[in-house]
Chains A and B, each alone.
Chain A
Amino acid sequence: MKLIFEKSVPGRGCSLLPACDVEETSLPENLRRATAPALPEMSETDISRHYTELCHNTYGVNCGFYPLGSCTMKYNPRIDEEMAALPGFTGVHPLAPAHATMGCQEVLNLTKKYLCEITGMDDMTFQPAAGAHGEFTGVLLIKQYHDARGDAKRKKIIVPDSAHGTNPATAAMCGFEVVNIASSPDGCVDLEALKAALNDETAGLMLTNPNTVGVFDENILEITHLVHEAGGLCYYDGANLNAIMGVVRPGDMGFDCIHVNLHKTFATPHGGGGPGAGAVGCKGFLAKFLPQSASMQGDGHIQVRGFAGNFLVVVKALTYLMTLGREGIPEAAQNAVLNANYLMQKIRNTFQPAFDRTCMHEFVLNLEQLKKDTGVSALDVAKSLIDYGMHPPTMYFPLIVHEALMLEPTETESKDTLDWVAEVFRKLYELAHEDPEFMRAAPHNARIGRPDEVRAARNPVLRWRNV
């Protein structure tokens, strides 16, 4: 595909603005730009076709099965997009007077009320723009809590080794020392390891439940109790909330603060990497530490982003919440769990689940034996799935399972899709034994073959240049 710059023709453009109807002014000479930026010069036809070509080389949830474990790639309802595009929302200036933004405030308040009920929290902020950003905010709540009590010793955050990489990175960004504790073989918290790690330097624990291998940690009440007893707080990473919403609440598990990914659990689209929204909820005693905007509410609070966050993403999530309502929320969770268990059951006669037990909304396959037998790796299987028109699962995560493929089908896939997926996996299992070389060269029908990532890192080309 040609780059947009390679399609640019000097002199082309779109007719967009009228002539200036007031007297021109100019910048003082010492502040003027020396040469114009070399932006593309394109007709509207050129632009439309260029982006359509890029669009055809992008795989979205609308294209097919997207079982990216831990990412909750459920269907993104179009009514949510339509509501977020209403001029009554898009035209509102963030610093318009409060009486002119009553509708926006009601959107935030209603969404807060519903999400607090679903999570068992008392208050919430929508300022964080993503899950990792929500973690940053949540861990800063913990930091402020200990600081406000003058408890300066608490410099350590405990993170299980099965955690997503953002958890330790977040704790470090917030100035904490990370204490990694080993997990039990099923990815759950090892109670003895936890007890050994807890002391009067413990600021808190960061945990996902269901955990990163898709298992609900049945010791959860004891875990949060132990942390509280040691004087620490418990942070809930909401990455896997889709398994349990409307069934169990993080607040009832003993968590003090949480983030929820509106772009996973509440069906707002991922947009190729964002914008998302990592709403952060907390129990009442932490509410005074929630972030605010200096320009909207004034100084005196932490702030993690400008203004009120990714507001239109909240509009989409509210539309989804209002559509599903009290019945639809648990229905979605139950069917996410049902779909995962059904697919695991259908696949297990070929590929091996890493944990032989009921899973939550996702499950992990362990391909170590397959690799030993055939030389075909998790990567090769993932790339082969592309040739069947599906997006690969999450690969090589969690780190505690080697040759891992993690599948999260979500509730918005039908039984016939899952049956077809199981059939594809069966075919690939056979192919791995019959023609492993073919799989090692996959994908065969994609726009490009496997890219040379080492070359990209060693010899970085990060922008186009006219040579």
Chain B
Amino acid sequence: MGSYVPSTPAERQEMLNAIGMKDYRDLYHDVPQSMILNRALDIPSGMSELEVGRAVASLAEKNKRFSTILRGAGAYDHYIPSIVKYIPAKEEFLTAYTPYQAEISQGVLQSIFEYQTMICELTGMDVSNASVYDGATAAGEAAAMCKDRKRTVTLISAAAHPDVINTVRTYCYGSGTELRVVPVKNGKTDPDALREMLVDEVASFYLQQPNFFGQLEDAEAIGKLVHEAGAMYIMGCNPIALAIMKTPRDCGADIAVGEGQPLGMPLSYGGPYLGYMTTTTKHMRRLPGRIVGETVDSKGQRAYVLSLQAREQHIRREKASSNICSNQALCALTAGAYMAAMGPRGMAEAARQSMAKAHYLADGLCRIPGVSLKHEGPFFNEFVTVLPCGDKALEALESAGILGGLPVEGGLLWCATEKVSKAELDRSVQIVKEVLAK
């Protein structure tokens, strides 16, 4: 078996003797004997590192690897610069706890302060927290920030990611808030329906940009509707698109959140990712989660600390608005390193190329007889096609190592990033064409 206990058997006995005990059983004399598990656990025997490495690698090999990924829907296969992988692997970053002890945590605190600044730059918002679990929980926490005694209804667009809608619904279930889903028309949030649903009890409305179907919403006009009704406007934005797209601040958002995975995190079957979460100065003290602030130390030097803790659960207990007491620090570090490596030009280039390649793919697919775009509005790097025999097309693509679009209601939801080459896109279109010609 494997073990990480350094003490030798002789040392262990010496320690037991020092505390006046004969063996390990004595340590548990407070535990009622009837409850002690008097048998070995029904799990396999432990293994050496060499054996474990082989066993776990064999599990990884049971997954099918796709050389080309044309699927997004909340998890995006962007290029991750090599240096970005090495930084979070540094042992001090990896093995540190939440930086409660500022004197020996300036490195991790500064990395979070830098992340907060970069996210504010990307979104145009005033204040960012240190990150939350993922984009869906960020949306749930944002909705919780907005409700009060009079405003007890939360609205969300049906064009948001299904996991975001369901997570917000769950957060609302917890807090006793009613969630109403605003319907979609032609692949976008229906502004007429939204106007009607914006009654006095509505606390907030959540819009995803670009939305789940890849469509670019008229976010600014929607923001005006929301504010006219006196509700808070929450936007969930793809951070890569933000390098070139109008910021949530310029669209009037009070809170901007989103899935931070595209900022340097691999797909990883869904996680770890991170949720970014920002707001305006006005709502700063309602923002949940860890926040790092700048101050000075006893010698007057610049220093960073976990700040505004009076909002948090360890002080406010049941009066806190959220129980969150950690962040995704290592993912925030990754995102910071990603944004530094890409820089403003690299991020814009990744965004432009993703968009160009998605449009090239859409054009190629739509030249195949019988294939068309489901929605006519402008899109970023995702779009839905109406495509006969979608199952067969996906099968044929899969045998060529290509993960095709995601089946959604009425079609396939495709995605392209800067990682896919023209040759891969041409090949994918050719395979679909051959399937449909049969």
Contacts and interface: CB of A to CB of B under 8 A. Distances in A.
Contacts of A467: none
Given A248-B31, A464-B117, A94 B75 contact: yes
A219 B65 CA distance: 52
B75 A95 contact: yes
Contact of B341 (A47, A168, A303): A47
B329 interface: yes
A464 B113 contact: yes
Interface in A167-222: 168-175, 178, 215-216, 218, 220-221
Given A391-B101, A448-B301, 6 more contacts: A95-B74, A216-B30, A303-B170, A338-B15, A451-B295, A452-B298
Interface stretch (A28-36, A225-233, A367-375, A430-438): A28-36
Interface in B323-371: 323-331, 333, 336-337, 339-350, 352-353, 355-357, 359-360
A59 interface: yes
B174 A136 contact: yes
A89 B63 contact: yes
A247 B56 contact: no
Contacts of B304: 451
B136 A306 contact: yes
11 contacts: A5-B117, A14-B342, A16-B341, A27-B216, A55-B90, A57-B106, A77-B4, A129-B272, A172-B319, A448-B303, A463-B128
B244 A76 contact: no
B57 A25 contact: no
Contact of A323 (B49, B291, B293, B296): B49
B19 A341 contact: yes
A86 B58 CA distance: 11
A56 interface: yes
B317 A168 contact: yes
Contact of A20 (B43, B170, B353): B353
Contact of A449 (B121, B299, B356): B299
A295 B163 contact: yes
A178 B298 CA distance: 40
Contacts of B315: 165
B398 interface: yes
A253 B32 CA distance: 10
B413 to A, nearest CB: 9
A96 B403 contact: yes
Interface stretch (B185-193, B196-204, B226-234, B417-425): B417-425
A114 to B, nearest CB: 5
Contacts of A305: 133-134, 136-137, 163, 167, 271
Contacts of A16: 79, 81, 341-342, 346
A356 interface: no
Contacts of B176: 175
Contacts of B297: 448-452
Interface in B163-189: 163-167, 169-170, 173-176
B95 A462 contact: no
B174 A143 contact: yes
Contact of B95 (A33, A56, A270, A334): A270
A194 to B, nearest CB: 17
Contacts of B69: 93
Interface string A84-103: 01111111111111011111
B437 interface: no
B280 interface: no
Nearest to B58: A103
Given A106-B59, A311-B269, A319-B56, A330 B41 contact: yes
B270 A309 contact: yes
Nearest to B141: A173
Nearest to B84: A47
A463 B124 CA distance: 12
A31 B245 contact: yes
Given A94-B75, A170-B323, A325-B46, A448 B106 contact: yes
A289 to B, nearest CB: 11
B41 A27 contact: no
Interface string A1-45: 101110000001110110011111111101111101111111010
Interface in A111-140: 113-114, 117-118, 129-133, 135-136, 140
Nearest to B101: A392
Contacts of B31: 216, 218, 244, 247-248
Interface string A41-82: 110100110111111111111110010100101111101011
A379 to B, nearest CB: 11
A304 B330 contact: no
Contacts of B333: 51, 271-272
A73 B422 contact: no
A225 to B, nearest CB: 12
Contacts of A66: 97
Contacts of B299: 448-449
Contact of B356 (A23, A301, A446): A23
A304 B398 CA distance: 31
A455 B296 contact: yes
Nearest to A332: B5
B154 interface: no
Given A453-B307, A457-B307, A93 B88 contact: no
Nearest to B63: A103
Given A306-B273, A464-B113, A117 B268 contact: no
B77 to A, nearest CB: 7
A153 to B, nearest CB: 15
Given A40-B340, A306-B273, A322 B4 contact: no
A178 to B, nearest CB: 4
Contacts of A165: 312-317, 320, 325
A350 interface: no
A302 B343 contact: no
B157 interface: no
Nearest to A163: B317
A457 B352 contact: no
Nearest to B267: A93
A56 B93 CA distance: 9
A39 B343 contact: yes
A204 to B, nearest CB: 14
